[in-house]
Structure formats: structure tokens, C-alpha cells
Structure 1
Amino acid sequence: MNICERVLCALIVALLGAGCTHQPPKFLNPSVTGYNYTPAAINSFKVNGDGGPNLGPHQGGGKFTCCTTVPRQWQPGMTATVEWEKDPNVGASVNWPKFGTDGWREEYKKHAAKYTHHRVTVEIPRYEVVGTMKVHFLPCDQVLVAVNNVQPGYPGYPHNDVINALNLEEPATCPNT
């Protein structure tokens, strides 16, 4: 073998060897969707600082946004911090002045002052395969999350026992309030 053939052979071996050492990423970036089981609107929310869609009362599921970050492999004690802004009086604008007028802007300003802001850290249930990050907003400002590759309502989803009642109403008093 001449020198060129040896260099070419060495280069091919090096490239083939490099392909064998490829490691999958330690973190993945699943999209985020929300499910709102309350009569309030979720104006916006974040999971670990990454944005999610707005959700009307008793809505959710089909609205995906990009993304949050989770480890490829589940680890005990994993949590997610969820922050959200809630509009407790969704239908208030029905009798407001015409949209875009000074009167409308004044009404909106008073209305937006009643928005509430929340933050909670919740446990991420065990998962084998990363799927969409699903965030469930429940009455009394309770939140559940799941990142497995199973959709709500299907066998193996970790919160089916809680979310089967889709139109939960806020109780007169919430625990721990």
C-alpha cells in the first residue's frame, strides 16, 4: 500500500469508529400542551420557564407549543415548576364599550388588575419514553404534569383517575386556603 492508500484507509477507519461512539442526547425537548379543567381562563403558562399556550375554560389538548427540557431517562424526585396567569372572570367583556375605544381600554385595565398569578412545583411521574409535556390545571389551583408517551384517557396515563371528570367546578372552599 502506498502512503495515499494508507491515509485513506486510516481516515475511513477513524470515521467508522466515530460513528460507533455516538451517544444519544441526555436531554430532550418535548412540546408542551395544557388541559384546563376549570371555569377560569389560563391566559398563559410556563413549565420550567418555557412557555405554553393560553387555554379557555374547560379546554385543552390540541394546542402544542415548543418546548421544555427533560432528561431522556426519568429519575426519582424529578419536578417541574409551573407558573400561570388566570382570568377568573372570563365573560366580563360582554358588556364593555366598543373594542379599541378609550372606554374599552379602561374596562380592560380594571379587568386585568384582577388576574391572579400562580406558581407550583409538582412531581413528574415515572416515564419510559418521553412524549409531550402535558400540564393539567385543576380546581383550587392544583396542577398535574406528565411527560410519558401516553395520551390522557389511555391505559398507562398516570393521572386518569383524577382527570376523568372533565368539567370540574371550583368548590366553595379549597383545601389549604
Structure 2
Amino acid sequence: MAQEYNDMKKSNCIHLWLAMLMFVLLSTGCKPSHSEPANAGADDELGLSVQVLNYMDEGIGVVYVNGEWAGSMSSHAGGNSIAGSVGLPAKWRPGLTVEVEWQDDALYAKDPNGLYKATVPVERYDTIHSGFLWLAFFPGKKIRAIPSGTSPGFPGFPDGLRNPFDLCMRDAKCSAKYYPNRKLIQGKDQ
């Protein structure tokens, strides 16, 4: 009985020692790396989920934003998966950009490891508390970086831009080529 008591005391001491060690390790890893108060920059940055909109006839195999993987997207599709995120200033400022790297099907056919790279201006935004950075890919390697708290096709989305799938499904040629098993969407807002 005395041996079991000593073993239990020893085990409890080891657990207590490990808990204290974990506390010290975790608390030192959370300290800011500079002398500003811990919450000084919290209101100065906005975290947005990255969404890809592909208005092109070819798929996009991979997309990176500021060096972070942000997903991929088939042709005439978009906004159906959230793969990455990006931090932007809480207030827009002139000259704000993101670095976008991507590979479409044509580049992959030439060089499976190749990537296009572009510095893309971030479109003006007002107050957003949460939302998305929409990367809209258009023919001719044109890209728009659109921060928004809403989605394409919904009120308040810049320029009234619609989801590429919805646009394709309103066009008989596009829907027949890219979505032959889907029914064409009829509507007055084509």
C-alpha cells in the first residue's frame, strides 16, 4: 500500500511538472515580438477568406495569394470552396496590392511547375467586419482582387458582378460546352 502511495505521488509530481512546463512554453510563445501592447494591432488588420472566381474557358489548377495556397477552380465556376485566407488593413489605402500566382491549364500543358505572377491592386473597400477576398480571373490574365462582405450576385457586391457559373448557365453556348448535363437558366437578367 505504501509503495502504491509513493508511485501515485511520483506520478502526480510528474504530471504537475509537465503541466507547468507546458504553461511556460505556451505562454512564452504567445508574447508579441515587439514592444507594442498585445492588442495594439488587433483592430488594424482584417482577416478575409480567399475565394476564386474563374470567368475563363480554362481551369485554374492552383492559386497562391501572398505566397499562401488559396485553392483552384474549374472553368466558369467560383466561390464554392474556401481554401485560404489573407490579412488586409482594416482601412483601404491607395496602392494596396496582393501578390497572386496561378497556373491555368494552358501553362500546365507547357510547364507543369510553371506559375504566372501578378501584383494585383486591391479594390477600394469600406468597413468590412468579416468576409472574403474574391480573386476574379478574366481572359487575358486580368485579375481583380475584390474585398467584400457579400458574394457575387448579391446586393452590395461591386459592379453587380455575378458568379461565373450563373453567367455561363445563362448563355446557351457556354452551358452546352462546360455544363452539358445542367439545365440552362432562363431569366430576364441575362
Residues 144 and 159 of structure 1: is their aligned pair in 2 closer, same or farther, counting only changes over 3 Å? farther
Aligned equivalent of 1:36, options 24, 49, 54: 54
Aligned to 2:148: 148
- Partner amino acid for 2:121? E
Aligned to 2:180: none
Displacement of 1:22: 5.8
Residues 162 and 81 of structure 1: is their aligned pair in 2 closer, same or farther, counting only changes over 3 Å? farther
Q: Within 5 A, what are the aligned runs for 1:26-175? A: 26-88=44-106, 111=109, 113=111, 117-127=115-125, 128-129=127-128, 130-160=130-160, 166-167=167-168
Displacement of 1:114: 6.4
Contact 2:77–2:163 (CA under 8 A) maintained in structure 1: no
Displacement of 1:46: 1.0
Contact 1:86–1:115 (CA under 8 A) maintained in structure 2: no
Higher helix share: 2
**How many residues of Structure 1 are paired with residues of Structure 2 in the alignment?**
129
Structure 1: give runs of 5+ residues left out of the alignment.
1-20, 90-109, 170-177
Q: TM-score, normalised by structure 2?
A: 0.57
Aligned to 1:106: none
Residues 22 and 141 of structure 1: is their aligned pair in 2 closer, same or farther, counting only changes over 3 Å? closer
The percentage of aligned residue pairs carrying the same residue is 26
Cα distance in 1 for residues equivalent to 2:162 and 2:95: 21
Displacement of 1:150: 2.2
Residues 54 and 120 of structure 1: is their aligned pair in 2 closer, same or farther, counting only changes over 3 Å? same
Displacement of 1:146: 0.8
- Partner amino acid for 2:70? G
Displacement of 1:87: 0.7
Q: TM-score, normalised by structure 1?
A: 0.61
Displacement of 1:111: 4.2
Residue 25 of structure 1 aligns to a residue whose secondary structure is helix
